[in-house]
Amino acid sequence: MIQDILFIKQDKEKKAIDILKKCKQDVAKKKSQVEEKKGELKKYKNWRIQEETNIYDSILNKNIKQKKIDETKHKIAKLREKDVKILEEINIAKKKLQEAEESLQQAQESYDTAFKAVEKFKEINEIVNEEELKEKKLREELETEEFYNNIGK
């Protein structure tokens, strides 16, 4: 019976290990996504700054109408909006990373609990096996003693 319980506990431990591995992979993936978005933002900002400079240079020291100035401002505002969009994507990616880390922590706790349960039942199984071995030896000794007593009669 204890062997059956031990088998069940070991199965739970194996499942906990699988879940833990998946959670670790998920955390690594989410970290990578956050870093990727940060890199995208940095690259975009560098490009945007250069693009703004080019736009300003194209109208600098020129007589242009107010409409052209407004269009230029609008164009630059659109470029800057993408900064905000990427920042929002970074925040979403960070939130997903945090959720993945929380899942990892829960998976680690589940694994720790399963591991302790397996160890406990291994100890119990070992004790029961030792007791059974002692009982078997004692029975064998009693049977041997009884056999010799019957021969002597």
pLDDT given at position 64: 82
pLDDT at 69: 86
Can you give the pTM of this predicted structure?
Answer: 0.73
C-alpha to C-alpha distance for 116 and 106, rounded to whole angstroms: 15
> Can you give the pLDDT at residue 24?
97
Distance CA(96)–CA(27), nearest Å, equals 9
Q: What is the pLDDT of residue 57?
A: 87
Neighbours of 80 (CB within 10 A): 12
What residue type is assigned to position 8 of the chain?
A: I
pLDDT at 153: 61
Per-residue CA distances from 57 to 53, 61, 90, 124, 145 (Å): 6, 8, 31, 81, 110
Domains located in the chain, CATH noted: 2-116 (1.10.287.1700)
Tokens of 1: 């019976």
Instruction: Report, as ranges of residue numbers, the positions in the chain whose pLDDT lies below 50.
Output: none
